[in-house]
Structure 1
Amino acid sequence: MNQDEYKVSVVIAHYNAGNYVRKALDSLARQTMNQDDFEVVIVDDKSTKSLDIVQEYKGKIKNLRIIVEEQNHGYPSIPRNHGIDNARGTFVMLMDQDDNLADDTLMIFYEFAGNDSDVIIGKYAEGKMYNGTQVPFTKGINIKDANIITDHVLSTLAPHKMYRRSMLNEYDVRFYDSSYIPVEEDQVFNMKAYSVSRKISILADKDYYYWNQREDFGNLGKSSTYVYDEPWKYLNILSEVFTIIEDSHKWISSQKQKLKAIYIGRLFNSSYTTVLEIVKLQKNEEQREKLISGLREIINKRMDSQSIEDVRQESQWMVLAIKYRLNYEELLHFKTELFSTDFLVKENIKFINGKTVRDMIIKGHLCSVPVDFLKKESVLGTN
């Protein structure tokens, strides 16, 4: 293992970034941390364009190294791994090639981490042209030892964080090869890091990371195959995350079941897609049913009733429908029935433990489906 020579190693996977990389490198050149204390490792995924712009910054960033892959991988996973492998900092900061940091990000992250934080999460900038969740940062409070559940740590599974390198190496926390996890590779990476970290810290008092949305929507030069168009792509990520949760020595049983609920709730209904849309992406009916049956097997074997009940409402109805053997067409009909305003008929609605639920029959199973996420306050007469 490389000895620590710097406080921080900034690792950037690069591919055909052109001028877009300037924003990232300019922000690193401006860091308030002494340039003797950090290095920047650019791992180029065998770009087809010149690296002259990156080379130009060797005169502006003291410790800038460029590693060129022998072949193009089409995904950032392997370049990031090679960057981590070659890092010589106490911490590794992962950045995307078209993003930028606040000028004091490295210094503040490093100092806040101290000797016991293994993952440091900084607030994303907000705005029309910025990506990134705000859920863990809404209170604006810095948290030294964040609770994995109540502090909404699973809301942020993107890779733009600082990680203690000794933790990454000791527990072999690396990105999976794209032949196994080609989509949402950062989610699996972060779940593994979370599962072994002594402390996870959150810095929410100001903007630290600028996750830029490019005008051409060409961020990271993603491969054209970076989609859930085959069942195994979706099934592998859910199965692997559940395995990481189950194998963790850090979390007790009740936490593990809650984390499964949180994760599947997020996966089934994210800000950009739902499980039904993923099923629709499959190439034919056979592939669609293969995906649904694979999800059903995971749900039935690896989630207990309490875990399913803890899934957020926006996703819980989908988990129940898949669990009780609805096929794709039946799922669509179930969605239509559930989302219909007719759900307000009194004989189907009741209140349980502060939740509004609708009793529905799913393949002979009576299910109380939470519907608070559907109701309009004015319709149900609440304030």
Structure 2
Amino acid sequence: MNGIRVSVVTPVYNAAGYLREGLESVQRQSFGRENIEHIIVDDGSTDGSDEVLRQWVREHPDNTRLIHQEASGSPGSPRNRGLAEARGEYVFFLDADDWLGDESIERLVAAAENHQTDVVMGKIVGANGRADKKQAFLKHLPRTTVFDSYAFWSVGPWKLFRTDLLREHDLRFPTGMLFGEDSVFVTRAFLHAESISILNDYDYMYLRRRDDGGNVTALGRRDAAAAAYQWINTVEQTCAAIREFNLSPRREGYLFKRLFHLQCKSAIHHMGRVKDRERQAELHAQIRGLFEKWGTPATVRELKPAAQVLYAALPTASCEEIVRLKDEFDTVELTGRSDGLFAAHPDWTEPDFERWAVEVGALYPLRAGITVDERLGDYRHLQGRLTFAHVPKDRVSAVLRCELRGTDTVLAFPVDQSDAKFSVDVPLRELAAAQQRIRRGWDLYLEVTFGDYTTKDLLRLDLSSHTRSRLRRLTDRLRR
């Protein structure tokens, strides 16, 4: 088995009825069987997987190896064993019940070599009712980083890793975790990688939902409390792994955000299904402690409005109330009131609003900037973009507010707005008329109203010397 380029590592535990698609997909790779070794680690299966695998190796002895070990109770152990045995320049982790597109390995390796990236992830398709992994693959990014993409929204192990990266940093899957070990491993790999590739030009991986409930993340159907604990532990271990890298608060908060939006919310979901009230209370306390420990100010700034409500309620809400807020997660939206901008459920009564709504004006400020600035006769034509996070742009109105410095003089001009873009023609004659007795400058703001909430942002606009001269001439003419 000379010239091995890629080692495909497959951990197997009681997957006899689901093996064939994955095994065959490795042999069909357009990259060439002679360039691939398939390392299969049987983690003490008891359902006949061993017999299926032995027969497969007899049929494909040239590029397939089978390793047996006692049941470890965790996918991390067999993956580590396969990684230790890998001889390829790259390693790809393929679970026993999933399979590859026929051109996947060839395309993944080409991306790694053409763009000199350390981790390559290809578009993932769900099979048999399993959801697609869409968020991470919205954009085709041949060379990027975890901070410039949605890579962290897919922390499963189904990726191509440069073997030297894994061995240089002694990267291993944590053992003893029923699931979530891939989150810790992939997070460390992302953060050690100089760059990564995200490919959405082909269906690279097919993830299957097993009919027998054998997916490890299906634990919640059998034991809600155990599933909740595993999700809590996943968040804890992944946050700790991120903290090892001493990132800036902003970068750390960006990564923590995903863990609280998805994984910690999963823990709350399973907590709500626990019947034992004492055990439920223990889980509630653990989730509360998790956010107290890792919910940094930078993390809070990154959270969506619904998550702002959910985690702000943790210290005082009961288990039932937290579950209710989790169930209402997708219907929470921003509401503009005279006393501020709030994240809230639109159907809440006033008592609910008083207790659960979170004021988020400081977290989601209006930001406006000029993209076009030109003089058209006696008008200044401005175009720009506004950013008002999580606020529906079709429900806001805007004006250009001109404030004469050091005075109470304010002029307002209508703004044409389309989605996040705006334009306005500023009549220089009106500005000149308003300042004819005062030689002071103007501050220009974009003022936006959403419901009963109004806010503004200063436009960083330097009136050109030509425009200032024009204003002075107009002012002098008006004085005469």
Same fold (TM over 0.5): yes
Alignment-mate amino acid for residue 166 of structure 2: L
The normalised TM-score by structure 2 is 0.65
Q: Report the CA distance between 1:150 and its aligned residue.
A: 4.2
Give the counterpart letter for 1:148 in structure 2: V
Partner letter of residue 328 of structure 1? C
Instruction: State which of 267, 272, 275 in structure 2 corresponds to 1:280.
Output: 272
Q: Compute the displacement of 1:184 (Å).
A: 2.3
Alpha-carbon RMSD across the aligned residues, in angstroms, is: 3.9
Q: Distance in 1 between matches of 2:52 and 2:327?
A: 52
Q: Give the one of 234, 237, 243 matched to 1:237.
A: 234
Q: 1:9 to 1:220 in 2, by over 3 A?
A: farther
Q: CA deviation at 1:285?
A: 2.8
Partner of 2:318: 327
Please give the alpha-carbon distance, in whole angstroms, between the structure 2 residues aligned to 1:336 and 1:103: 40
CA contact (8 A) 2:232 2:267 kept: no
Number of the residue aligned with 1:76: 75
CA 332–21 in structure 1, closer or farther in 2 if over 3 Å, else same: closer
> Would you say 1:28 and 2:26 are equivalent positions?
yes
Structure 1: segments with no counterpart, 5+ residues: none
The one-letter amino acid paired with 1:13 is P
Mapping 1:162-241, distance limit 5 Å: 162-178=160-176, 181-219=177-215, 229-230=225-226, 232-241=229-238
Judged with a 3 Å threshold, the aligned counterparts in structure 2 of structure 1 residues 20 and 95 are, in CA distance, closer, same or farther, namely same
The code of the aligned residue for 1:153 comes to A
Question: SS in structure 2 opposite 1:277?
Answer: helix
Aligned partner letter, 1:368:
E
- 2:10 is equivalent to residue 12 of structure 1: yes
- Distance in 2 separating the partners of 1:329 and 1:222: 23
Are 2:367 and 1:367 aligned?
no
Q: Which moved more, 1:72-81 or 1:294-303?
A: 294-303
Matched-pair contact (CA < 8 Å) for 2:331–2:345: no
Structure 1 residues 375, 346: CA separation in 2 closer, same or farther (over 3 Å shift)?
closer
Paired residue secondary structure (2:142): coil
Asked whether the equivalents of residues 158 and 190 of structure 1 are also in contact (C-alpha less than 8 Å), the reply is yes
Write the distance in 2 (CA, Å) between the matches of 1:209 and 1:338.
30
**Contact 1:182/1:226 (8 A) holds in 2:** no
Contact 2:231 2:263 in 1 (8 A): no
Paired residues for 1:69-148 under 5 Å: 69=69, 71-114=70-113, 116-125=116-125, 129-139=129-139, 141=140, 143-148=141-146
- Please say which structure displays the higher CA radius of gyration: 2
Please say if residues 14 and 45 of structure 1, whose CA atoms lie closer than 8 Å, have aligned partners that are also in contact. yes
- Matches of 2:222 and 2:76 in 1, distance apart? 12
Higher strand share: 2
Q: How does 1:149-160 map to 2 (within 5 A)?
A: 149-160=147-158
Compute the displacement of 1:344 (Å).
10
**Which whole-Å CA distance do the structure 2 matches of 1:367 and 1:21 have between them?**
49
Equivalent residue pairs, number: 364
Which is bigger in relative contact order (C-alpha 8 A, separation at least 6)? 1
Deviations 1:170-226 (A, max 9, x none): 223222122xx3232222221122121121211111111111233444347977998
Map of 1:46 onto structure 2: 44
Q: CA deviation at 1:367?
A: 2.9
Equivalent of 1:318 in 290, 304, 310: 310
* Cross-structure match for 1:56: 55
Name the CA shift for 1:62/1:285 in 2 (closer, same or farther; >3 Å): same
Identical counterparts, % of pairs: 24
Instruction: Give the partner amino acid of 1:99.
Output: D
Corresponding residue number in structure 1 for 2:244: 247
- In 1, the alpha carbon distance for the partners of 2:209 and 2:278 equals 36
Rate the CA distance shift 1:262–1:340 in 2: closer, same or farther, 3 A. closer
How far the C-alpha of 1:63 sits from its partner, in A, is: 1.3
* Letter in structure 2 aligned against 1:83: G
CA deviation after TM superposition for structure 1 residue 9, in Å: 0.5
- After TM superposition, the score normalised by the length of structure 1 is 0.80
Per-residue deviation at 1:379?
A: 11
Change (3 A) 1:102 1:338: closer
Q: CA deviation at 1:309?
A: 2.9
1:73-112, Cα deviation, whole Å (9 max, x unpaired) = 2332211111111111111100111211111211211121
Residue 279 of structure 1 and its aligned partner are, at CA, apart by: 1.9
